[in-house]
Amino acid sequence: MLDKSNKELRKTFGRFATGVAVITFENIKGQKLGITINSFTSLSLKPPMILWCLDKSSDLYEEILNINHYTVSFLSELQEEIAHSLAQKNDHSLDSIKHKEVSNGLIIEGCIGWISCTNNKTIDSGDHSILVADVIDCKENSGKPLIFWGSEYTNLISS
């Protein structure tokens, strides 16, 4: 078992660059909400599936586990402010963020791609849950990705 501090482990994990995405959905009260994630990956092409991880201490944890569909917007290098905003606890409203409706959900305007999903299963694992989803629709857009590396947002040029 690892005997290093969580700080050292976080720093080590931070050496692995990831893209940045936002999960968006409408809750049962009709509120349009989003949360920043960087633990996203494609899972399968046949059938089309994705997975991502959600911290069990997230203020949106219970709401997300109880929704049937959501979208994933891949943020562009120009959308760092959105990533910061939706990463904060207790303020996940899309009211001040440009977004639009697509099949089965909402996307962040200006994103470089999006995927519309329905829940498949949730796997309990450590302090996170792994959410597996079936892909219903998707679209690629132009632009360069926002990158998360070394506990900071960056882009492909400065990485």
Rounded CA-CA distance 52/41 in Å is 6
The pLDDT tens digits for 73-110 are 999 999 999 999 999 988 899 999 999 998 789 999 99
Any domain includes 2:
no
* Residue 9 domain flag: no
Q: Across all residues in the chain, what is the average pLDDT?
A: 92
Q: How many domains does the chain have?
A: 1
Handedness of CA 124, 153, 33, 143 (dihedral sign): negative
Report yes or no on 4 lying in a domain.
no
Amino acid identity for residue 44 in this structure: S
Between the CA of residue 113 and those of 22, 58, 78, 107, what are the distances in Å?
Answer: 11, 25, 14, 9
Q: CATH number, domain at 82?
A: 2.30.110.10
Q: Reply yes or no on whether the pLDDT at 159 is more than 70.
A: no
